[in-house]
Copies of this chain bind each other. A is one copy, B any other.
């Protein structure tokens, strides 16, 4: 039932956008009564949150795998791999991503990315500690914070509004370069 409702929510989001998302419509689309929706979700917000959480979790699954694989690679290759996986995952959730990032009141629901960012930041801290051990903690923290912004923003741009005349691969390459440059001040560390 819950899955049915969340699937219906995604559909409605796809077809009508965030503004067209009403609980009655979701229930109708799911083929159940509104009453049932309110048995499984406290309110509309809860429904949206759950959808966001699930999309987030799905993205995180891929991300975790990518991060695991990345640690065994040279720095730049690892970063590149993570970016590519992230873009692919966001593409898969284009509907929810679009709705949540571009349409939904962020203040109300946050977006998919905070959890992704948290996970990413955690691993990035280790990455920086390994490759640039002499960096001061505060300095490292700031670089990581900025890098997270760069990463998510770049992946979103690549996913939702890719610039014309250039391949996605090249964009990911450039972003990877930028991130390595930004994260690791020591040129020697960059493999």
Contact = CB atoms under 8 A, between A and B. Distances in A.
A97 interface: no
A178 interface: yes
Sorted from nearest, which 3 A-B pairs have the closest CB atoms? A102-B106, A153-B153, A145-B163
B178 A108 contact: no
B146 A175 contact: yes
Interface string A137-174: 01101110110011011100100000101100011001
Given A142-B171, A178-B182, 17 more contacts: A17-B105, A18-B105, A18-B107, A19-B105, A104-B105, A105-B105, A138-B165, A141-B166, A142-B174, A143-B174, A146-B171, A146-B174, A146-B178, A149-B154, A150-B150, A174-B182, A182-B182
For the residues of A in contact with B, the DSSP-based class is helix
A181 interface: yes
Contacts of A152: 153
Q: How large is the interface on A (under 10, 10 to 19, 20 to 34, 35 or more residues)?
A: 35 or more
A98 interface: yes
A103 interface: yes
A107 B103 CA distance: 6
A49 interface: no
B170 A142 contact: yes
A154 B153 CA distance: 10
A150 B174 contact: no
A146 B146 CA distance: 14
A103 B103 contact: no
A87 to B, nearest CB: 13
B157 A145 contact: yes
Interface in A9-65: 17-19
